[in-house]
Amino acid sequence: MIIAKTVREVREQVAEWRREGLSVGLVPTMGYLHEGHASLVDRARAMCDRVVASDFVNPTQFAPNEDLEAYPRDFEHDCNLLEEHGCDMVFYPSVEEMYVPNAATYVEIQDEMPKQLCGKTRPIHFRGVCTVVSKLFNIVQPDRAFFGQKDAQQLAVIRRMVRELSYGIEIVGCPIVRESDGLAKSSRNTYLSPEERTAALVLSKAVFRGEELVGSGVVDAKRVVDEMTALISAEPLARIDYVSAVDGVTMQPVEVITDGTLVAMAVYIGKTRLIDNFIAGGLK
């Protein structure tokens, strides 16, 4: 596996693959990889001739009071996982390589979509996400890019950015990967104490309860959200940021759940903010 630390290295290698007529898939990550990331690489491997993964903790999507410095990092572990799953190149840039001094150019969706859900309490987050993903698209110029459904709002924002900026890149959403007990895989799970780790199961329990309600024919969004909220609120270590039912494309709140409705949550377990969701489907 190639380890590239500069934009030039990535572009030269991708150009060589292009001359050979090979397709290229991109898996953007912030490192500290787990089986969820591995599933993205596996999907990219199945759909593309060559796979590039980025490993970069992006500072522009963190507010000053967030966990940029504490965000877990283990590049050696990341490389081992990527290589085991057939990644051809990992792009591991420094902040200085990704952002020129005094950089003041951003990519941002300027309507209500990024202000919903996570955007309510993380107002600069999706501007940072769009900017770094746009840069990665420009650097790698992939045929396809692969993102996890756990970050459902991020996936919807990126799909819109790609459509509106005419990137011509296929965005592939991949299912949430869970621990055996149901907890959604997340790099931030490592922050949890043993007691908090047990308490965190309330997120997936709420998701499964919501899916059960919708599957039984309950389409009143308020009832589904209220039951999920009550379940989470019963856990003493949990503090809800939001539990919402929204249109899966626009992120606007809905009153009636239909196919494609996103039911999403962000919950603090202790000091650790975790997210989870499900998308309604199979409704008549």
Q: For residue 129, how many other CB atoms are within 10 A of its CB?
A: 25
Burial of 21 by CB count in 10 Å (0-12 exposed, 13-18 middle, 19+ buried)? Answer: exposed
Residue 1 DSSP class: -
| Cα distance between residue 138 and residue 145, in whole Å | 12
Residue carrying structure tokens 């990126």:
158
CB 28, CB 139: distance < 8 Å? no
37, 77, 85, 125: which one is catalytic?
Answer: 37
Cα–Cα dist 42/33, whole Å: 13
**DSSP labels, 206-234:** HHHHHHHHHHTT--BHHHHHHHHHHHHHT
37 is catalytic: yes
Full strand arrangement of the beta sheet holding 261-269: 238-247, 261-269, 272-279
- How long is the chain? 284
Residue whose C-alpha is closest to residue 124's, from 136, 135, 108, 113: 108
d(CA 133, CA 159): 11
Give the single-character DSSP code of 108: -
Neighbours of 84 (CB within 10 A): 11
How many contiguous H segments (helices) and E segments (strands) does the chain have? 10, 9
Active site residues: 37
